Each structure stands twice: as C-alpha cells, then as structure tokens.
Amino acid sequence: MANVLTPEFRVSYAHVFKPQKNDLNGNMEYSVVAIFDKGADLSALKSAAEDALMEKFGANKANWPATLKSPFRKCKERWSFKDGKQVIPAGYEDPDAVFMTFKQNADKGKPGLVDNQVQDIIEPQHFYSGCYARASVRAFGYDQKGNRGASFGLGNIQKMREGEPLGGRTAPSQDFTPVGEVKTSAGVFDD
C-alpha cells in the first residue's frame, strides 16, 4: 500500500513526542487523532482503506467478515453523559464531522514532524491539540482477537497552521494583566 496524504485536520490527542502505551495490545505507540471538517474530501483515504480490506480479506466482498470496524468515525461517538448532562469534548462539537486515529509503533521510531515550511518541529509546545495539520498515512487491514477492519499507520505530519488549543487551557495573557513596578526588599527580614 502506498502512503496517502490526508486533507487538513484539527489535531486532537497528539502523542507524537513521547509514545503512549496502547491498553489493548500493550505496545508503545505514537499517535494523533485527526478531526476533519464535515465537508473534507476523504475519498483518497476511503479508497485506500477499501484497498487494504481487499488485500487482507480478498477481492470478493461477499467473503469479508460481516462486522468490519471503520476507521472513519463521527464526532458524536465521543459524546457522553455525566450526571444526566451531555458532555461534548472540545473539538468534537459537530456531530457529523469525522475523526480518525493514526498510530505508529514506537519500535519503528518517532514520526517525522515538520512545520508548513518543512522545518523540523522539535519542541512540544509548537505542536499541540488544537493546531491544524496534515499527515502521510498508510492503510492496512487487520484481523486480531475478533476485531476486524481497516486502520491507518502514521508516517509523517506537517503542521499547517495555529489553532485554538483544545482542553480548556488558557493563555497567560488571558489570565493576567500587567502590574506596576514590584517593590522588593533588600533582605528577607528587612522592614
């Protein structure tokens, strides 16, 4: 399977500097969740996923497993209820927008990460949940422990532009205002 370049997406759950343990398989993985606008052209990704399923399960779709997990999920799947109230995570407000998870095993190395001028990004504060990016991904079919479907491996990521950080964190300039001259004492115990 050839790599596919995604359309621009909003970054969520960015784990591209330090791998995280996958609780399902125990592997250490780099990953990023991509939130695509409702109107994004996902046709190349859908075609690659279908090709991966054909490679894994054969060309005759009648022989494919009845339940295949799709890598294309609607944002409303992330919605939940807590104490009788609906909880919608930041970035997942549009119920019909699509999100996908791209992963890479840590033993294959860290994914390449560059800015919009193709310069390496090495500081985590420059790539965060809420910025916009695109990625080079590779589709594959899987059949593991009763789970069957298509997914995408993460290759490289290009940050396209800044965005409002997800997660409710505010900028210091929003929390504070400038103060006048701060008086300091010459010594700890001076009057």
pLDDT in tens, the chain (191 residues): 789 999 999 999 999 999 999 887 889 999 999 999 999 999 999 999 999 999 999 999 998 998 999 999 999 998 888 888 888 888 899 989 999 999 999 999 999 999 999 999 999 999 999 999 999 999 999 998 888 999 999 999 999 999 999 876 666 777 888 887 766 666 666 66
- Closest residue by Cα to residue 100 from 159, 49, 25: 49
Rg (Cα) of the chain, in Å, rounded? 21
- Sequence-ordered list of residues with C-beta below 8 angstroms from that of 151, at least 6 positions apart, any chain: 69, 71, 101, 103, 139, 140, 142
Could you give the domains of the chain? 4-166 (2.40.50.140)
CB distance 133 to 158 below 8 Å: yes
CB distance 110 to 30 below 8 Å: yes
